[in-house]
Chain A
Amino acid sequence: MKEYLLGNAAIARGLLEAGVGVVAGYPGTPSSEIIETLVDLKNERSLHVEWSVNEKVALEVAAGASWAGMRAAATMKHVGLNVAADPFMTLAYMGVGAGLLLICADDPYCHSSQNEQDSRRYAQFAGIPCLDPKNPMEAKEMAAFAFEFSEKFNIPVMLRPTTRISHARADVEIGPEKSPLEKHQFIKNPARRVALPIHARPLHSQLLAKQAAMEEALESAPWNSLALHGNVGIIASGIAGLYAKEAIFELDEDLSLLCIGAYPLPKKKISDMLEHVSRVMVIEELEPVVEEQVQMLARIVNPNVEILGKAGFIPREGELDFLLVRNAIARMLGKAERGALHSPALSILPPRPPSLCAGCSHRATYYAMRKVFGKNAIYPSDIGCYTMAVGMGTVDTCLCMGASITLASGIRFGGETESICCSLGDSTFLHGGMTGLLNAAYNKARITVTILDNSTTAMTGHQPHPGTGMTATGEATSAVSIEALAKALGAGLVETVDPYHLDETLESFQRAKEYPGLSVIIARQPCVIKARRGGARPQFFLVGEECKGCKICLDFGCPAIEFEKDKARINALCSGCGVCAAICPAFVIREVAR
C-alpha cells in the first residue's frame, strides 16, 4: 500500500518497520517531524520516544538503549551533531548492541540554520557509514536497512537526509511493522564499553579494519547504482542523482551514470566508471566528498580521464536543483543552457519578511530591555524565534545554542565596559545555556542574562521540554524551576517578570542593570500561538479618535498595529497583550469590553 508522506514521516515509518524500540532527539529544522510522527503513531506500541535535553543527550540515550539490546535511533539537525560530536566519535570505536542509527538532517542553503555544514564529512571523520537518500522512499528503506548493517558490522550508522528529502513529499510504499524484541539486557564487557586508553587503542584498529568490509558490503547496496552507457559519465550523490537522472532524460543524452547513496564509497563501481569514460562530472551538494575520492582513484585507475566538478561547474555552497545540474551537464556537452527566469515587476512588491507574532512576549521583553539598557549596551542573543527581533537592536550576536551567555562573559572579560544584557529562550537555556550560566557565575562575569520563557520550543513547532512538565508523548512529568536552576548555578539576582506588565519589567531590568554581579531576569509569558491553540480568548484593544499619529506604537513593530490616514489602528491579529497601550504616550489605546 502506498501513502503520500512527508520525508520525515517516511523515515519514522522506516524506524517502525525495523522494530525500533527507543528514539530520542532534540527538535531542529528539518529533522523535527520524525519524532513528531512517532509520537502521533505511538498509541499502544511499546516504543520509548523522547525529546531529549539536547543532541548529545539524545545520542547517548540511544546508544545506551542499543547497548541494552534494543534497536535505537537519535534524531537531530546537522548542527546538533556538533553538540553530539563527543559521543559520536567514540561510539564509532565502541560499537553497538542492537542496531544504532543516527539521523542527522542537513540543511544546504541554510533554509533555517546558522550554517550549511556537510555531515558526510563527519561520517568520514568518524569512520561511520553514511546513507544519503535521494527521495523519501529511499530514506525509509535506508532507515530500516541501517539497523541490520549496524548490527552486522557492530557500528552506528548515519542517515543523512537533507531539507529536500525531509521536507519533500512522495508516494511511499508502506510495509509491515516489526515489534521490538521482548527481552533486553546490558551485557557487561569493559573491553568494548569502557573507553580507557588500553581499550580504545585496539578498538581504533578494529574500526579501521572493518572499513574495507563495510565498503565491500555497500558496493552492492541498491542505492549505489551504476549504468554504463556513453563515454561521458556522471557521478552524483544523494538528491543530485535525482537531478542528474532528470537532466539526462530531458537532454535525451546517452550518458553513463553512477548514483551514490551509501558511504564508504563504492570504489569498484567508481573504478568501473573511470575505466569506461573519457570524461566524468561529479555532482554533489556542498563538500567535494565524492570528488576527492574520485580524483584519488583516477590516479590509479585511469589518469587520463577528465574530471569536472566543483571547479567551475558545481557550486560548493547552497543547494543544487534540477536546472543548475541540467545546465552544468549541458555546458560539459557543449549544449545550450537554459537561463533561470525571474519574476516580472518584482520591484513593485512589498517584502513579506517573517516576524515575531502579534502579541509575542519577546517583543515586549526586548522593548523593555532596550529602554533600560540603552543603545550602547551589548546584546548577545541566541537561537530561537527571538533572533527575528534583530531589527529591534537587542540581537547583537547569534552563534549557536546557548552561546549568548558565554559570548557575553567573554565580551566582558575581553574588556567591554558597557552594560551587557544577553538573551536566550527557555528551551535553548536548558539545551546549552545552563553550563554557560554556571561558568559565568563561577568566573564572576558581570552580565545580565534574560531568559525569554515562553514555556515551549516555539521555533521548531512547540515541542515540550523539561520546563513544561510534559514529555514528548504528553505524559505529565516533573517540571524544572528555571528560577531555582538559575540560583543553584550561582546567579546573584534572579527575578521573574510578566513582560506584558511593562512597568514591572522595566523596574526589574533596572535592578539587574545596577546589580554588581551576575543577574538573571526570567521573562515568562506563554507563546501566543500555543495560548491561542489552548483556547485563550484575547481582550480587545482600540485606538481612540484622539490618536495624534506620533507612530511610537508603530515603531514597536507589532503586526497588529497598522497606520491608516494619519492614525494608528489595531487589526484582527491583535492577541490582546496590551503592551501597546502601555507604550502610547497619549494613552489613547484602550481595552474595550467584549
Chain B
Amino acid sequence: MRTSECDIVIVGVGGQGVILISDVLGRAAVMAGKPVCGAETHGMAQRGGSVINHTRIGCRFSPMVASGGADVLVALEPGEALRFAHFLSPAGVALVNTRPILPSTVTCGMADYPSLQEILAPLKTRCCKVVALDATALAERAGNAVAMNVVMLGALARYIPLSEELTIQALSLVVPQRFLEANKKAFALGKAEVE
C-alpha cells in the first residue's frame, strides 16, 4: 500500500538551491491542504559536499523517502543523480540537469568525471524515464543562472500533485520580488522541456 501521494528526492551540491525547491513544494502543499513532510542534510552544504532533500507530498509518515521509493528524482547536478539513483522507484522519473560541477577530487587531477552518457545509461536502467536538460543554460536564458533550480522546479511541476498556480504562488513567497519575473520565466522554460 502506498504511504505517500508523491515522493520526491532532490539532490545537488551545496549552494545550488536544493532546499528552495523543497520549500516551494512544502508551501504549495500546505496551500493545497495536503499533509507534507521532508528531511534534509545540513552542515556541509557550504563546503562543497553533496546535498540531499526528501519531500513527501500527501504523507503523514517518515520524513525520508525509502530506497526504491522516489516517484521523482530531481538532480541539479548529473553526477549526484547517479550517486542517489538508489532512491528511484522502477516506475519513477529522473530529471537531470546536465551541467556538471566538478568536485575537488577531479579538479586536482585525482579522479575523472564520467561523461554524460556514462551517467545517464545506468540511470535509465533504474527508472521508467530520464529527462536530461541543460537547466543552467535555460536559467541563463531566463536572465539569471542562479535560477537553475527554478528551471528544474518547472520541469518537476508536471510530475507532482500540485497545481501550477499554487506552485508559482509559493515560489513568489520564497524568491526576492526583484527576481520574480526571471524566476517565472525560468519555471516556464523548465516546464516546456517536459511537455
Which residues of A approach B to under 8 Å, CB–CB? 2-4, 29-30, 111-112, 135, 164, 167-171, 239, 242-243, 245-246, 249-250, 252, 321-323, 326, 338, 340-346, 348-357, 385, 388, 459-460, 529, 551, 554, 557, 559, 561-563, 571
- B64 near A343 with CB under 8 A, answer no
B36-A322 in contact (CB<8A): no
Residue B154 is within 8 A (CB to CB) of chain A in the complex? no
**Smallest CB gap from A172: residue in B:** B30
**B27, A168: Cβ atoms under 8 Å?**
no
Point out the residues of chain A lying under 8 angstroms from B63, CB to CB: 135, 164, 168-170
- The reply to whether B111 and A249 form a contact with Cβ atoms under 8 Å apart is no
Minimum CB distance partner of A458 in chain B: B46
Mask, B33-63, CB within 8 Å of A = 1, is: 0011111111110111110000100000111
Q: In the complex, identify which listed stretch (B81-89, B131-139, B175-183, B184-192) lies at the interface while the others stay far away.
A: B81-89
Contact (Cβ within 8 A) B66 A249 = no
* Chain B residues with a Cβ under 8 A of chain A: 1, 3, 13-14, 22-23, 26-27, 29-30, 35-44, 46-50, 55, 61-64, 66-68, 79-80, 82-86, 102-114, 118-119, 122-123, 125-126
B42 adjacent to A29 (CB under 8 Å): yes
Q: Within the complex, what minimum Cβ distance (angstroms) separates A126 from chain B?
A: 29
B86 to chain A, nearest CB (A): 4
CB-based contact B61/A340 at 8 Å: no
Please tell me if the beta carbons of B107 and A562 are within 8 angstroms of each other in the complex: yes
Cα of A169 to Cα of B46 in the assembled complex, Å: 20
Given the known A-B contacts A242-B61, A250-B1, are A561 and B86 also in contact in the complex, defined by CB atoms under 8 Å? no
* Minimum distance in angstroms from B136 CB to a CB of chain A: 14
Contact (A346, B1) CB under 8 Å given A111-B41, A245-B61: no
- The CA of A355 and the CA of B119, in the complex, are separated in Å by 24
Return chain A residues, CB-CB under 8 Å to B106: 350
User: A351: which B residues are within 8 A, CB to CB?
Assistant: 103, 105, 111
Most buried by B among A322, A357, A388: A322
Smallest Cβ-Cβ distance to B123: which chain A residue: A344
Q: In whole angstroms, what is the CA distance A112 to B29 when docked?
A: 30
**Given the interface contacts A352-B105, A571-B107, does A164 sit within 8 Å of B48 by beta carbon?**
no
A380 to chain B, nearest CB (A): 23
B67 touches which one: A169, A245, A323, A353 (CB < 8 A)? A323
Q: A343, A356, A459: which contacts B85 (Cβ < 8 A)?
A: A343
Residues in A with CB closer than 8 Å to B14 are 354
Q: What distance in Å separates the Cβ of A117 from its nearest Cβ neighbour in chain B?
A: 18
* Contact among A164, A354, A529 for B39, CB-based, below 8 A: A164
> Are the CB atoms of B105 and A246 closer together than 8 Å?
no
Give the complex CA separation of A349 and B67 in angstroms.
19
Please, which residues of chain B bring their CB within 8 A of the CB of A554? 108-109
Q: Once bound together, how far apart are the Cα atoms of A330 and B163, in whole Å? A: 37
A246 to B40, CA, bound (A): 20
Partner of B36, one of A112, A171, A252, A338: A171
Residues of chain B contacted by A322 (CB below 8 angstroms) = 61-62, 64, 66
Given contacts A167-B40, A351-B111, 11 further A-B contacts (CB under 8 A): A30-B42, A168-B38, A169-B26, A322-B62, A340-B68, A340-B86, A353-B49, A388-B47, A460-B43, A561-B108, A563-B107
